[in-house]
Amino acid sequence: MAKLKHMIGQKVIDGFKGVIDFYYWMGIPCARAWPKSPGKNRNPNVQAQWPIFQTAAQLWRDISPAVREAYNDMAKPTNLTGKDMFFRGYISGTLRYYQPVDDLEE
């Protein structure tokens, strides 16, 4: 990270798109190398989290439009989307949704 004396113009920022990331940190203008994705070479702990996000994404698609709209309404006064709020609740374990189990014996 490099601290700048003042933020440069938009034309210069646009010229460095994909190379240098210009941003403000606590009101201080800064620049850094453009963030690069590690691709599929992720830490095993990060990879272990993928299935829960996959399940949450599937559940979000499966819930009724009325429930999705309720999440969107709850999220309006926050900086989250309804989907973000749903994911937080699901991943933290505060929301439990019925998932059918095929092997249940009565």
Q: Which domain holds residue 13?
A: 2-33
Count structural domains, the chain: 2
Instruction: Provide the greatest CA pair distance for the chain.
Output: 71
Domain annotation covers residue 98: no
Q: Tell me, yes or no, whether 23 lies in a domain.
A: yes
Q: In what order do the strands lie in the sheet with 28-33?
A: 2-3, 28-33, 20-25
pLDDT at 91: 87
Total-model pTM = 0.54
Residues 51 and 84 in one domain: yes
102 pLDDT above the threshold of 80: no
pLDDT of 71 over the 90 cut: yes
Regarding whether 29 and 49 lie in a shared domain, the answer is no
Q: Which residues of 55-74 are buried (b: 16+ CB within 10 A; e: fewer)?
A: ebeeebeeeeeeeeeebeee
Residue 48: inside a domain, yes or no? yes
18 and 48 assigned to the same domain? no
**Cα–Cα distance for residue pair 5/104, rounded to 1 Å:** 66
Query: Is 52 inside any structural domain?
Result: yes
